[in-house]
Amino acid sequence: MMKVYTKSAAIYEVLKADILNGRLRPGEKLVASRLAEAYGVSVIPVREALSRLKAEGLVTIVPHTGAYVTEIDLEDLKDLYPIRGVLEGFAARLACGRIGEEDFGRLEGLIEEMDRVIKEGRFPEMGGLNYEFHMTIYKASGNRHLVSLIDELWQKTARVRSVFALVPERAKEANEEHKEILSRLKDGDAKRVEELIIQQDEKALQVLMGYLEGNGMISPKFVDSKGVQCLK
């Protein structure tokens, strides 16, 4: 029993990571038998992993049809991103004058790593690095409650960390923005840092909306074996 659970947990972690970093794209079908063959296990731990991912909203299971990577909810993004922008901008403004040399070194290192990732085409890795970059700034605000709220919003929009895998050209643009944000932080220009953070959130939402609309991912529908449309 423990062996099956361990396999299920391992498959869950791999699939979740692949969904969040964009290797598995919104709407992509997840065939249990193929996944089982790929991981060298029976279909039981795969189905357990898919059920767990369904409970987290990352997988949609349609009767008589199968499992799919859940489509991204555009309305949620429209609601959440403006809130994120305001809170993140405020946290970044507070960080000005408080952020230290150790944090500056950390931010510079993350920017350099993102440059390498972009150059080598490892776009799925950008999401995690981007998260670390921003949270390093917000933690420097010294307001743990504010940081907690921001982190909660990031988790609610975790699905779209894959924007860099879905829209690779956004990665280079975003890292250039990071460089300007760091420069303004070093200058102590709190107002401009706040503006840049808000603008970056607005740009990210714009890019995501364009991608989702362009790929027909608004109001996702699946069709079951009887031709009946099933909403997620």
Could you say which DSSP state residue 103 is in? H
Judging by beta carbons within 10 Å of its beta carbon (0-12, 13-18, 19+), is residue 23 exposed, middle or buried? middle
DSSP 126-139: HHHHHHHHHHHHHH
Domains annotated on the chain, with CATH: 2-71+218-231 (1.10.10.10), 74-214 (1.20.120.530)
CA 220, distance to chain mean position in Å, is 19
Distances (CA, A) of 20 to 14, 86, 155, 195, 209: 10, 24, 11, 28, 17
Residue 230 above 60 pLDDT? no
Could you tell me which residues come within 8 angstroms of residue 206 by beta carbon, excluding any fewer than 6 positions away?
none
Give the pLDDT of residue 14.
Answer: 92
Residue 21 above 90 pLDDT? no
What band does 1 get if pLDDT is binned at 50, 70 and 90?
very low
Q: Which of 25-34, 84-93, 163-172 has the highest mean pLDDT?
A: 84-93
pLDDT in tens, 111-143: 999 999 999 999 888 988 999 999 999 999 999
Residue 223 above 80 pLDDT? no
**Tokens coding 109:** 């290192």
**Tokens coding 35:** 């996944």
Give the pLDDT of residue 9.
Answer: 92
What band does 216 get if pLDDT is binned at 50, 70 and 90?
low
Distances (CA, A) of 125 to 19, 67, 110, 136, 229: 12, 25, 12, 17, 35
| pLDDT cut 70: percent of the chain above it | 89
One-letter identity of residue 56 = E
Half-sphere exposure of 30 (CA within 13 A, CB side): 30
| pLDDT cut 90: percent of the chain above it | 62
d(CA 18, CA 32): 15
Length of the chain: 232
Give the pLDDT of residue 103.
Answer: 98
Give the pLDDT of residue 157.
Answer: 83
pLDDT in tens, 150-196: 999 998 887 777 677 778 899 999 999 999 999 999 999 999 999 99
CA-derived radius of gyration, the chain: 20
What band does 218 get if pLDDT is binned at 50, 70 and 90?
low
Residue 214 above 90 pLDDT? no
**Tokens coding 16:** 């979740």
Q: Which of left, alpha, beta for 66 (phi over 0: left; psi -120 to 50: alpha)? A: left
**Tokens coding 133:** 């970059």
Give the pLDDT of residue 224.
Answer: 41
